[in-house]
Structure 1
Amino acid sequence: MALYYGVSLFALLNFLVGVLSFPTMEQGSTCGYESCNKEKPGMINVHLIPHTHDDVGWIITVDQYYYKQVQWILDGVVAELKADPSKRFIYVEQAFFTRWYDEQDEATRNDVKMLVNEGRLEFILGGWSMNDEAATHYTAIIDNHKIGFEFLRQTFGECGRPRIGWQIDPFGHSREQASIFAQFGFDGLFFGRLDYQDKEQREKDKTMEFVWEASPNNLGSKANLFTGVLPNFYNPPRDFCFDISCFSFNPMIKDNPKLHDYNVDEMVDLFINTTNDQAKAYRTKHLIMTMGSDFNYVQAHMFFKEMDKLIKYVNARQSKGSNINLLYSTPSCYLKKLNEDDLVWTTKQDDFFPYADRPHTFWTGYFTSRPALKFFSRTINSFFQSVKQMGAWANAAKNETIQKELHHLGAVVGVSEHHDAITGTSKQAVAFDYAQRLSEGITSGKVVIQNYYDYLMPDYHSTSAPEQVICENLNSSICSVTESGNKIFQVNLYNPLARPVQYVVRVPVTGSSYAVYTPNATVQSDTFPLSDETKGLIPKSSQRATYELVFTASVPAVGYTSYFVERTSNKESASREAKRSDDTVLQGKYVSVKFSSDGQMASLSSSASNAEVPLQQSFLYYPAHGGECVSDDTKQPSGAYIFRPVDNSHVKIGITKWEGTYKGKIVQEARQKFGDWASQVVRVYQDKPYVEVEWTVGPIPIEDGIGKEVVTRYSIPNFGNNGVFYTDSNGREILERRLNYRPTWKLNQTEPVAGNFFPVNAMIGIKSTKSDLDFTVLTDRSHGGSSLNDGDVEIMLHRRLLYDDCKGVGEALNETAYGRGLIVRGKHYLLLNKISQAARQYRPLAQEVFLRPQITFSSEQLSRDAYFQMYKSSVSSLYQQFPSNIHLLTLEAVPGEPVVPSPPGTTPYLLRLEHFYESGEDAALSKPVTVDLEKLLYSYPIRGIHELALGANILASDVHRLSWKTKNDKPAKDQAKPLQFEGMNTLVTLGPMEILTLQVDIVSNRRS
């Protein structure tokens, strides 16, 4: 759908010519469903799927995989496809393919385009990497695919557009991932891993293929996705791997009768038996057979030659009565055949967590593994959201340097979401490489940030802004600008949210007497002495700060605010130094926490709930199970993937030191120490509705020869949640969890602790059956979590292990830094509310936790008056605040050719708006809401609006997904009809959980 107005006839004609000439598909192209090889009617048609699964880092780094294997795979596959029009191949990871394609000469590129246009080389999934589904935030999932989609669209047009999700290796599958795929316009999803008990039941019931209702209460059929479980994970059937990696143990097809090892009849019999066995678990006469695995086809000719033999000799058996027919195919061709059968399919509404591949082997450890890397990845993802906005406001669409830096940062985010990156399941050397890439992403983002402030901050007295410095180690109270002896520095905060925020800034400083200013006022501030635990995070030679300066910053919607900080001896204007006391109560306007005399947390009260509950908090660890890599599952060790405690027992770490309370005007805090290697600071802010718990864990001791899984547990005795708790799905919809229960199959529980841990991306909570109370914990990164006992919320924080868990990584998860075990610090946010009011507290707060203001520092040595005369202190890019249930999910400049050519004199922007409440979650905020785009985008006249699919690679009106019949008696709630833009209308309406993706053409009235 589109809107154009205010355009001259000449410009309109030019625009129409652009539409007519914009390439979508090469002349004579037969890609997509029209390019499939033909089946033979009346037979079992086996769709052989040649593919390679290329991890974007795992045992070796991204670059090492490319040079050692991937480039040779693509070289060989292209040559084989060119030589035989019947052959097919699918490719997934754009982080590798884009690199290979850029290295090719023009002739090879033309060959690739020919193969793509004829459907012989098909791009499946299309993401920069095959992302994990447990530890990833939905914003990163969207961006990971969007960057890959954009390359494919710009390079190959419509024939390059992926239609199928291909999550063959992630260790469990989230419902939100399926919903996102459906909103991309995908027709289906295939994956390899699901719980062994679930798979056994599905094979018996012939429900290996079904329709996944991924948002039944919100988006309805818009989020339904046909889903298939692959029969052999994603490998070839046993004995039919023809890759060089299998050469030493798999038989090849030896078809020369003169040779003593001639085995054609034996191999054909084996394959036919394998096919008949597989057919027992599937409903149709179409079977999918993956022919490839990790980094297969380095010698593509070998694999294809053997498959040619297999097809030839198996199909020759048809003359003797066999009903098996083999053909080269793709997942999309297979899916189309299933759709043509017009069957009625079963449905599923829950997810596929947790995953176990055998008894005692739950893949729930990786929910927490490498928590520092998980935080770094989440931080850079948040950083990317802000930087994209800042680039858009600074007119970055016309700046190639800025676009290059944004692309690099997006690629960094895409790599970090890979299912062996953010999961923490790579080798240590590869984890270091991921961290280095994330750090390089900050460097790219800094270029964009500087461009933004250079454009918006100068107030006619300067052509550029002060140099902006990003302090990457604020989490450890380190910042070169603020602790280097500067008596004057500035703190600049950019808020990506479409509403103003009151953000509490914590800045490391070298003294206790500072003043904070805006142009017209002195800002109230406190100073707190650094704790011994903070000082011990890094070597003393790198730690100069002695205090933290704390103040509340008011940051406008989608804009920035600048604060001027000066070290002062004027006691009247200086910050208030918080002093230690033995008081055991932290009291704010909305919440309070009480402690016992020995420093244990004792109770929590909140005005939102109008209640006080006993709240206990403790640290504990599960001794990790040792073991060995044998077939006996009872000897399964705990490792990077697997969480397995010894005897399901835990050891409590008692409080050893109560360090009292420190009270300022802005915040009050209590400091506790647990044993020699765990501590926390509990904070109550004067004007915040939550309790902040900053935990520090490490170095985890291993001198006793026992690995440890460290957990924090919040307990409300007699709460009455009856084994039911709630976790988010990738930061969006909330799913109900029950102890020792799976909604679609009967669970035989072999691990009562590990088998009840679920991914916690943003929140975990419990609801009382005895009162109208909801207790929720928000997190700053992904964890594993559960509620194993009544009133408990348990979150795993850190892991240090001594055994490899036999899943391929080949080393123990034993992270170190500065010559000792790794110390990790993070935050939780505790909320106590009435059940009916809980969402209006945790929904916006979860956004604020994820999208914290982007803080930069400068040290312009000017007087306060001179600084504020030279530079604007505050700018908002919105005309008015968004409705309180609408989130500005994306605002970024569109590089290159947009999906729809823009009218002359305009610049295309990608805009995503999100309704972030679920249906029925809140009496008022769950209702549909209408916004006027032109009133939101201040002083930027709109000349065109086009609704796109979520992946921003096709018009929404051009998405025509396959439809499926289901056995669900209750029809899924349908989404409202697509929006229509006519005349001068710029109104859009969003329902619960709906994401609206738009290309908005805005008049270019700013300098380049």
Structure 2
Amino acid sequence: MAAGKQQLPVALLFILGGVWSFPLVQDTKPAAKLCGYESCHITKPNMLNVHLVPHTHDDVGWLKTVDQYYYGDRNDIQHAGVQYILDSVVDQLLKNPDRRFIYVETAFFYRWWKQQSSSMQQTVKRLVNEGRLEFVNGGWCMSDEATTHYSAVIDQMTLGLRFLNDTFGACGRPRVAWHIDPFGHAREHASMFAQMGYDGFFFGRLDYQDRDHRMIEKEQELLWRASDSLTPPMADLFTGILPNGYNPPEGFCWDQLCHDPPIRDDPDLEDYNVDDVVNRFLVIANSQAMVYKTNHIIMTMGSDFQYENANLWYKNLDKLIHYVNAQQANGSKVNVLYSTPSCYLQELHRANLTWSLKRDDFFPYADDAHDFWTGYFTSRPALKRYERISNSNLQTCNQLEVLAGPVSRQGPFGVGDSDTMKEAMAVAQHHDAVSGTEKQHVANDYARRLANGWQHCQLLISNSFAALSGSFLKRNYCDNLNISVCLPTEILNKFLVIVYNPLARPVTWPVRLPVNGTAYAVSDVKGKPVDCQVVPVSKATQEVRRNRGFAINELVFQVQAPPLGYTTYSVSLIQDGPPPASTQRRTPTGIQNKFLRVTFDPDTGLLSSLSNLETKQSIKLTQNFYWYNASDGNNTESNQPSGAYIFRPNSSTPFIISKTAKTETIQTSVVQEVRQWFAPWVSQVVRLYADSKALELEWTVGPLPIDDNLGKEVITRLDTSIKTDRFFYTDSNGREVLQRKKDFRPTWNLKQSEPIAGNYYPINSRAFIKDDVDQLTVVTDRSQGGGSIQNGSLEIMLHRRLLYDDVRGVGEPLNETSDIFPEGLIVRGRLLLSLEHPAAAADLHRPMAEQEVLQPLLAFVDGDLSPNIRHEFSGLQAALPPAVHLLTLTQWDKDSVLLRLEHQFQSRESKLNSQPVTVNLQKLFSTLVVLGVSELNLSANQWKDKMTRFDWTPQKEEKPLLKTFQDPSEWEVTLRPMEIRTFLLKVQNVQLK
């Protein structure tokens, strides 16, 4: 994309003590121009100041696709055209310098900007420089907070903020985060926003009981301490809860989509209504002031896709301000002004008050007693998995673009790029995208965008492999290996498997390739034989892949890949070799490797125990599949049905799908499998690889039967002997872990009305239950919802198929089908289970979750190992320490790259790994010479040492647990627990020897 190719003015680089410093933006605005806090209108200290914030909320896809929303197409679905909104707003801002407007979604603004003339662009720059048009949030989209992974959120924020930075300089930098529509709020998002330099955060939705409590206590504005590990105030974020969601007060909506009467101010007309409007407004303003702490209140004047005809809004707002303020001559103490969230925030900061402190998050969200928005944690599970895979593919694409240099973008296989995939992934983070709360045709469009981005990345990756290896043979990529489909491996008798590892540490990874032979020889890059086995493709796999593949067997072996690099394995068919491993139709007493033992109940075929052979731990463990009968809205308590957003089972007791499982067993030196069938639409493989410390449960669910006219929400439940006492634990966006307790909220006395849905939380990468002795951790391969409804139990929702819309706007039931699955979607996924002592569990589950997010990429080449080819490569001089994760490595411009290093352990989480770690940047890469370095904030739009934020005072002042530190040298950087550090490196590619 054009924004990604814009360059920093690197010609202005200068040396400071041997370290290069990069001007992040070239400040060309005259000093007389004001923006940000300096552009705020003056308020009146002895009055109630009402900050009117004109805004539009423009979903990056929801009922219509991104394109349809931008152009105003398909208005039969929803009247919305973003390009017209921006046209109209700019025109109206020019007519009155007092007017203000905020804009949020850079994905739309970027499109509009590209289509403007240079004179219009200069006009808009003037509006931005004067603070009349202000950007808030500024990411490519307004991301979901429950189902997104932190790495993808950081990427999409960086993409949007970089465009604003490149285009408008410092005046384009948002001062506040603005998440007015997401359905619950994650603590990790607040932590990230704080580290991105935001002074505050505003949102519109929170649990109705929580809001009632905060209104009484005047705690709708608070200080969110969003990390247990980072030293305050590093992850502290002032947070404000808006009074009307993000809508105007009732009776004061003046958009073409609204029905409220305009202000009629001609006293000669019979329908003159100024007095009525003013009186109603004063009542609302004074009432709102009663539940906030200062003499400043905020009102959002706008809503979904409003301001297409901005004249309607501004003409009435001008009058409202004029006539309400005119009452001050009669003794009124209300002062109304055009404002922005940052101007409102500035006044709250000036008040110099103390604010209540919050440490947990805002999940789950309910807007009424039986309306818990916990269904979308799992909705569209196939799309959620595709988004997660796409994130892994994008990181690989970004890394190889850096490691291989310019030839990656224009090489022997054509022109490749990472920008298309960056934009597609950024759009997918939207709160109606990966969340699964969009119409079906919009979900299809998100998937199409991801697929298109991956096609562009494949060319770049092939070019990179060619440059790094010296081989120009065609690389093939197989995106359906999870259902045993890969044409090259099915038809070739001899081929190479290139395994690229995007992690900065070596990994061992199981490879399963569809084949039609019965015996194969596999060797590594040094010609050493690798133990491999051929097993038959399961019936469940044959059913789910339909006619997309024809392999009868799978070749299974384990690979070892170097950090941030690739290795190559050779595979050859053995003619007249031994037969594949056979299946035994009996339930085994157990399967085990050197780390784990799993036992099964011989009568039911179900799991019965899990043991860690190293630590000599053992727990009772049974696992089965159940379904909740989704409410159709026809009951005495409430007419709320289950839908894309809402999870509302008809009963607290789920239906068991089968009390027994038919089983088939395969035992080989590489892998042991127990294949279980519970119903024609539910099956599972319990799998244990030879060198794995985790038990794999590969589940296949669907099509969910609805011929009984019952919507179904399918879960798997793990019941154990662990004594949990109502507690369990989930991650927040893949990073820090939060403690959960059944029927409990830390900040108010909960009246629980939905015993199942009200105890569900987002699980982005892992969840666990524990007692003093044992911890069972479950790592997921996508975002899902789950809870611990019974002591010692952990349940995870896998798939949903519903027959009714839940009346939250999407207008259709969550009833997914496709051309391949017209009878209903089949979804396959996997869970990884580990059993450890609680004190040591993080040492296993954190890297295990990281590896599940950033999986090795496989490429296939026809032929055999050649002595003239570089078949193995690592982009690092040495693997990073276990506590350090290379989060980002991406090309920034011609001569510089963006690097993020992350400490992936929480403080006190691990005796071994919760310690500071120091990394030398000059000794990091094998193909890059680091010439200069400057440190940035998390979103890479401010220099770290120039970033300043408002200081806020919590009601309970606490001393920091950790002292600040200085890096020991210019090139060595130290990371403390949960710290992410972002660097812009000036680099030079060096030729491999």
Alpha-carbon offset, residue 19 of structure 1? 5.1
Which residue number in structure 2 is paired with residue 904 of structure 1?
none
- Alignment match, 1:603: 609
1:789 has 2:790 as partner = yes
Aligned-pair CA distance for 1:15: 12
Between the aligned partners of 2:254 and 2:469, the Cα distance in structure 1 is 62
**1:977: how far off?**
4.2
2:567 paired with 1:544? no
Residue 533 (structure 1) aligned with residue 535 (structure 2): no
Partner secondary structure for residue 820 of structure 1? coil
Task: Give yes or no for the alignment of 1:584 onto 2:589.
Answer: yes
Contact 1:525 1:575 in 2 (8 A): no
Contact 1:581 1:661 in 2 (8 A): yes
Q: Distance in 2 between matches of 1:810 and 1:785?
A: 26
Matching residue of 2:732: 729
Structure 2: distance between partners of 1:314 and 1:588? 76
1:512 deviation in Å?
2.0
Distance in 2 of aligned mates of 1:10 and 1:932 = 21
1:322-361 matches, within 5 Å, as: 322-361=332-371
Distance 1:552 1:341, change over 3 A: same
1:297 partnered with 2:285: no
TM-score scaled by structure 2? 0.94
Contact 2:20 2:932 in 1 (8 A): no
Aligned residue in 1 for 2:672: 668
- How far does residue 578 in structure 1 lie from its aligned partner after superposition? 4.8
Would the aligned equivalents of 2:410 and 2:463 in 1 still touch at CA under 8 Å?
no
| Equivalence for 2:892 | 894
Q: Deviations over 1:28-84 (max 9, x none)?
A: 331111111111231111111111000001011110000011000000011111221
**Distance in 2, Cα, partners of 1:367 & 1:21:** 39
Change (3 A) 1:183 1:890: same
Partner of 1:594: 599
Q: Does 1:701 find its partner at 2:701?
A: no
Tell me the equivalent position of 2:293: 283
Q: Using the alignment, how far apart are the partners of 1:63 and 1:998 within structure 2? A: 34
Conserved 8 A contact 2:376-2:645: yes
Q: Partners of 2:834 and 2:146 in 1: how far apart? A: 23
Select 1:957's aligned residue among 922, 931, 945.
945
> What is the alpha-carbon distance in structure 2 between the residues aligned to residue 828 and residue 316 of structure 1?
65
Is 1:311–2:321 an aligned residue pair? yes
User: Aligned equivalents of 2:20 and 2:474: distance in 1?
Assistant: 45
Is 1:198–1:745's contact at 8 Å kept on the other side of the alignment? Answer: yes
Provide closer, same or farther for how the CA distance between residues 550 and 9 of structure 1 changes in structure 2, counting only shifts above 3 A: closer
SS in 2 for 1:941: strand
Cα distance in 2, alignment partners of residues 530 and 13 from structure 1: 62
Letter in 2 for 1:298: E
Q: Deviations over 1:369-416 (max 9, x none)?
A: 000000001110111111111111011499589998212111111111
> Structure 1 vs Structure 2: percent identity of aligned residues?
47
Structure 2: gaps of 5 or more residues? 1-10, 73-80
State the partner residue of 1:802. Answer: 803
Measure how far apart 1:224 and its partner are: 0.2
Letter in structure 1 aligned against 2:631: H
Name the aligned partner's letter for residue 64 of structure 1.
Q
Residues 615, 274 of structure 1: CA spacing in aligned structure 2 closer, same or farther, 3 A cutoff?
A: same
Q: Note the 1:650-665 alignment, pairs <5 A.
A: 650-655=654-659, 657-665=661-669
Aligned partner (choices 494, 498, 502) of residue 504 of structure 2: 498
What are the Cα deviations for residues 114-137 of structure 1, in whole angstroms up to 9, with x where unaligned? Answer: 111111111111111100000000
Taking a change above 3 Å as real, the CA distance of residues 986 and 305 of structure 1, as seen in their structure-2 partners, is same
CA deviations over 1:888-938 (Å, ceiling 9, x no partner): 111111137xxxxxxxxxx21111111101101111210111121222222
Q: Which amino acid aligns with 1:130?
A: M
Matched, 1:634 2:631: no
Checking the alignment, whether the CA contact within 8 Å between 1:581 and 1:662 is kept in structure 2 is no
Q: Look up the equivalent residue of 1:742 and give its one-letter code.
A: R
Residue 1006 of structure 1, CA deviation:
5.1
SS in 2 for 1:688: coil
More deviation in 925-934 or 989-998? 925-934
* Residues 1:160 and 2:161 are matched in the alignment: no
Cα distance, 1:791 vs structure 2: 1.0
Structure 1 equivalent of residue 621 of structure 2: 615
Partner of 1:741: 744
Distance change (3 Å), C-alpha of 1:834 and 1:169 = same
**1:967 match:** 955
Match of 1:692 in 2: 696
Which of these residues, 897, 906, 912, is aligned with residue 900 of structure 2? 912
* Structure 1 residue 9: Cα displacement: 12
Counterpart in the other structure of 2:77: none
Aligned to 1:899: none
Q: Distance in 2 between matches of 1:939 and 1:103?
A: 39
Please say if residues 229 and 978 of structure 2, whose CA atoms lie closer than 8 Å, have aligned partners that are also in contact: no
**1:947 and 2:935 matched:** yes
Q: Contact conserved, 1:681 with 1:695, CA < 8 A, in 2?
A: yes
The 8 Å contact of residues 592 and 684 in structure 1, kept in 2 or not, is answered as no
- Give the direction of change, closer, same or farther, for the CA distance of 1:695–1:312 in structure 2 (3 Å limit): same
2:486 is matched with which residue?
479
Aligned ranges for residues 394-405 of structure 1 at < 5 Å?
394-396=404-406, 399=409, 405=417
Q: Where in structure 2 are the equivalents of 1:758-773 lying within 5 Å?
A: 758-769=761-772, 772-773=773-774
Instruction: Rate the CA distance shift 1:490–1:97 in 2: closer, same or farther, 3 A.
Output: same
Task: Evaluate the alpha carbon distance shift between residue 634 and residue 21 of structure 1 in structure 2; reply closer, same or farther with a 3 A threshold.
Answer: closer
Q: Kindly state the Cα deviation for residue 611 of structure 1 after the two structures are TM-superposed.
A: 1.5
Rounded to whole Å, the distance in 1 between the matches of 2:362 and 2:935 is 32
Aligned to 2:530: 523
Contact persistence 2:54–2:102 (CA under 8 A) = yes
Secondary structure of 2:858 counterpart: strand
Q: Which amino acid aligns with 1:778?
A: V
Query: What do you get for the CA RMSD once the two structures are aligned?
Result: 2.3
Give the corresponding residue for 1:170: 182
- 1:31-110 alignment to 2 at 5 Å? 31-68=35-72, 69-110=81-122
The residue number in structure 1 matching 2:912 is: 924
Q: Deviations over 1:328-354 (max 9, x none)?
A: 111011101111111111110000000
Match of residue 823 from structure 2: 820
| C-alpha deviation, 1:16, in angstroms | 10
Alignment partners' CA distance in 2, 1:374 and 1:20 = 35
Which runs of 5 or more residues in structure 1 are unaligned? 1-6, 459-463, 897-906
> How far apart, CA to CA, are the structure 2 residues paired with 1:340 and 1:365?
41
Residue equivalent to 2:780:
779
Partner residue, 1:411: 423
Q: For residues 143 and 521 of structure 2, what CA distance do their matches in structure 1 show?
A: 46
**What residue number does 2:256 align with?**
244
Q: Distance between the aligned counterparts of 2:639 and 2:363, measured in 1?
A: 23
Residues 240 and 396 of structure 1: CA distance in aligned 2, closer, same or farther (over 3 Å):
farther
1:21 & 1:885 partners in 2: Cα distance? Answer: 33
Which residue does the alignment assign to 1:938?
926
Distance 2:765 2:180 in 1: 25
Matched, 1:269 2:275: no
Q: Report the AA paired with residue 593 of structure 1.
A: V
SS at match of 1:481: helix
- Do residues 367 (structure 1) and 355 (structure 2) align? no
CA–CA distance in structure 2, aligned partners of residues 558 and 502 of structure 1: 13
For 1:179-258, list aligned pairs within 5 A. 179-246=191-258, 249-258=259-268
1:721 and 1:767 in contact (8 A); partners too: yes
Cα distance per residue 1:557-585 (max 9 Å; x no partner): 000011122222163xx796354363331
CA contact (8 A) 1:164 1:188 kept: yes
Bigger Cα displacement from structure 2, 67-76 vs 940-949: 940-949
Q: Match for residue 756 of structure 1?
A: 759
Aligned residues: 967
SS in 1 for 2:321: helix
Q: Which residue of 1 aligns with 2:3?
A: none
Distance 1:720 1:328, change over 3 A: same
Judging changes above 3 Å, is the alpha-carbon distance between structure 1 residues 426 and 21 closer, same or farther for their aligned structure 2 residues? closer
The code of the aligned residue for 1:192 comes to G
